[in-house]
Structure 1
Amino acid sequence: MSIRHGLLALLAQGPRYGYQLRAEFEATTGNTWPLNIGQVYTTLGRLERDGLALRGAEDPDGRFSYEITPEGLAEVRRWFTTPLLRDERPRDELAIKLALALTSPEADVRTVVQNQRTATMRSMQELTRLKSGDAEPAWRLVLESMIFQAEAEIRWLDHCEAVVLRGLSPSPSPSPEYSPEPSHERA
């Protein structure tokens, strides 16, 4: 998720100060992505420069509130309705680490997999414990997403370990022409 779009989504709810935006962003995401206040103000400056937000007058406490512009509202609506593609997300550091471990004499791949599985299991248990409390709906969705990702990672790690134990290389990667989008042709 881009901080830019996250701040725009909050501004779509009404004018906010920078510190309010940071606090609401972190509360909504359950502090899974803490923001540096400098990062918030830098992003607000860019939103203002790009015509997506306006800075209001200074209040008696020396704070400026920001509000979304019609262009900013159109941008946040576009963001909400546009799906994220897998190739637009950050690189998967774990996949890269395991691929390199397979080729490095310095790494025991089974140990790498087992250590990661243990860490992921602990993380999943903690996330599940947090979910059992009275979580706000937005935070609950974030928690559930993180739990599902942890479950998928554990399944993938099990697969990696099975591949290593069999002494086989992983199945070949799809060709560059591979498209993750389903075919709409009918048989």
Structure 2
Amino acid sequence: MSVKYGILTLLSLKTNHGYELKIELENLLGIKGKINPGQIYTTLDRLTRDQLVSSVGMDDQERKLYKITVEGKKELENWLLESVPYDSTKEDFHFKWSCARKIRFEQEQKMLEQQKVMLMKDVMELTQLKTEFLIQGDENRYLLITGTLLHLEADLNWINQVENRNRT
């Protein structure tokens, strides 16, 4: 997740101040989003330095307002058009499992079981949220959670395949 591009996305919609950007960015991220306010302001400083956003004064509560520049819009559009590679070797659990296999870790099965328990807990929580978002008519969050659930299902299937191969 890139705070930089999240801020550019939000500023492409309207001029805003740092705290409101934090709140809106957390909403954009959904259930996984908690952002340190310092990260917002540091990113805004860099975006200003790089001329991707500019400060346009203060609001009525003396908060600094920012807007996206033409260069910022171009940067955002270029980023949106970049494909995102899926590289599972960089994912934490897959890397950890590869390390365990490399050293013939005796508790590999326990690792797999614990990971499955955590994934199932996530599946149950997300399924409940998915239902809530469907009822609320929040199409974006509903579809994002649906995608996350599909990834979790794939991870569970992968663990089952590893366990089945270990039994043979």
| Same structural fold, with TM-score higher than 0.5 when normalized by the shorter chain | yes
TM-score (norm 1): 0.81
Contact 2:27 2:33 (8 Å CA) reproduced: no
Contact 1:28 1:138 (8 Å CA) reproduced: no
Give the CA deviation at 1:157. 0.7
Contact 1:109 1:164 (8 Å CA) reproduced: no
Question: How far apart are the structure 1 equivalents of 2:77 and 2:40?
Answer: 20
TM-score (norm 2): 0.90
Question: How far apart are the structure 2 equivalents of 1:78 and 1:24?
Answer: 22
Q: Does 1:70 align with 2:67?
A: no
Q: How many residues align?
A: 165
Q: State the one-letter code of the partner of 1:132.
A: T
1:58-80 per-position Cα deviation (integer Å, ceiling 9, x unaligned): 33422101100001011111112
Residues 135-144 or 6-15, more deviating: 135-144
Q: Where has structure 1 moved over 3 Å in runs of 4 or more?
A: 103-107
Q: Which has the higher Rg, Structure 1 or Structure 2? A: 1
Unaligned 5+ segments in structure 1 are: 167-187
In the other structure, the counterpart of 1:48 is 48
Contact 2:126 2:145 (8 Å CA) reproduced: yes
In the other structure, the counterpart of 1:170 is none
Question: How far apart are the structure 2 equivalents of 1:60 and 1:74?
Answer: 30
Contact 2:4 2:47 (8 Å CA) reproduced: yes
In the other structure, the counterpart of 1:171 is none
Contact 2:89 2:95 (8 Å CA) reproduced: no
Q: State the one-letter code of the partner of 2:91.
A: D
Give the CA deviation at 1:33. 2.2
Change (3 A) 1:90 1:157: closer
In the other structure, the counterpart of 2:124 is 125
Residues 138-147 or 5-14, more deviating: 138-147
In the other structure, the counterpart of 2:149 is 147
Change (3 A) 1:69 1:143: same
Question: How far apart are the structure 2 equivalents of 1:153 and 1:85?
Answer: 17
Question: How far apart are the structure 2 equivalents of 1:5 and 1:26?
Answer: 13
Contact 1:18 1:40 (8 Å CA) reproduced: yes
Question: How far apart are the structure 1 equivalents of 2:89 and 2:60?
Answer: 42
Question: How far apart are the structure 2 equivalents of 1:27 and 1:151?
Answer: 24
The 5 Å alignment of 1:82-161 reads 82-87=82-87, 91-104=90-103, 107-133=106-132, 134=136, 136-161=138-163
Give the CA deviation at 1:85. 1.8
Question: How far apart are the structure 2 equivalents of 1:58 and 1:2?
Answer: 26
1:52-102 per-position Cα deviation (integer Å, ceiling 9, x unaligned): 000121334221011000010111111122211225x89211011111222
Q: Counting helix residues as a fraction of each chain, which structure ranks higher? A: 2
Contact 1:29 1:138 (8 Å CA) reproduced: no
Change (3 A) 1:19 1:130: same
Change (3 A) 1:139 1:90: farther
